[in-house]
Amino acid sequence: MYQSTGRIYNLQFILLCLSNALFSASFNMMIPELPAYLTRMGGADYKGYIIGLFTLMAGLSRPFSGKLSDTIGRVPVMIFGSLVCVVCSLTYPLISSVGAFLLLRFFHGFSTGFKPTGTSAYVSDLVPVTRRGEAMGMVGLFSTIGMAMGPAIGGYVAMRWNINIMFQLSALFSLLSVVILVGMKETLANKQRFRLALLKISGDEIFEPLVWSPVIITFLTYFSYGAILTVIPDFGAYLGISNKGLFYTFFTGSSIGIRLLAGKVSDKYGRVPVLKISAVLMAISMLMLGLAGNSTLLLTAAVVYGISVGLNAPAVTAWTVDLGRPEHRGRALATMYIAMEAGIGLGAYFSAFIYSNQSANFPLTFYVMAGITLAAALYLSFGYKPAQKQPC
């Protein structure tokens, strides 16, 4: 395993952060434009699949990205994820049928199934355990910046020129991410050459049993994110907010502001205390949404929710690496990301089912999400039993 030093902010780490920001901006810049694009193609009834198929493939590909990250290396896995974005972005303008579009969205999910797994494993190799949370927070900060900038850039380009130029710009961002990664030093010692046999996944390679606690927390806390993606656009319109992205602007801004501090705090005081606070704040934000009768409370809830996510993400990722075996870091992280996608997907499904396009059901939808999130805090307080294994 790569021998980390006490330093974090070296050239490799800075380049990794920049690559992450470009990758995040690349696939996020098209998300606000794709529903209208699919509608013009005649697929208005399939808009829900834009996120669903993408997330499904990301989840299905995680075991493969985890295994390959632990065998052929972190850098090739990251490069593959970014290259998928390049190919997909250049392919969107070439398709004209709804079926081909949905198939492409499904394939596009490979990108986030691979890139974040390799990135998190690379960071855990690169930095000392005493600053692991801080490092995860910084990398996540750049991802969030890309997530915030991407839609704004994509929307402007599509409006100023056309959507095909936006797709090309998305491909350029991903290609720049690849260029950065190609020159980076691999951190996995004893890496293997790729062979087809590595794509055979056995049952024990899908989940890493040592990380069940962070998996449970990830699953329970990301239910609310699925609800946010699904219900907030309608809820915002119901409260008279014409700009559907305003909630996400407030949420992203507060998340950016807290991420680095959260990572440092989890390094000093432990992952579990930070995750308890995060879960409680997240439940409070859901309760606030359930009670929201005006745009002011809605946006205040967005700030609280952003703080909770900013606390949660670096702490739970660092905790996953802490508990996993060094030789199986990719597998451990892939397991956590599978839980994340499952939580988002089920949260989206159940929130849509409860809401049922009836405005009277908005409060109940968010109250249920608050209860699920509160279960994570209860598990950490009463159900979690610390193992004897020390972080490595």
pLDDT tens digits for 205-226? Answer: 888 999 999 999 999 999 999 8
Least confident span in 53-62, 235-244, 324-333, 372-381: 235-244
In 3D, which of 322, 321, 328, 318 has the Cα closest to residue 67?
Answer: 328
390 Rama class: left (phi>0) / alpha (psi -120 to 50) / beta: beta
Query: In the prediction, which pLDDT does 147 show?
Result: 83
Residue given tokens 């399939």 in the structure block = 46
Closest CA to 216 of 389, 368, 382, 352: 382
Q: Which two tokens stand for residue 133?
A: 């949370």
Looking at residue 231, its pLDDT comes to 84
- Mean of pLDDT over the chain: 90
Q: Write down the pTM of the prediction.
A: 0.84
Residue 94 identity: L
pLDDT at residue 232 tops 80: yes
Flag the least confident range among 82-86, 104-108, 255-259: 255-259
Q: Is the pLDDT of residue 310 over 60?
A: yes
3-state helix, strand, coil in the chain (%, to 5): 80, 0, 20
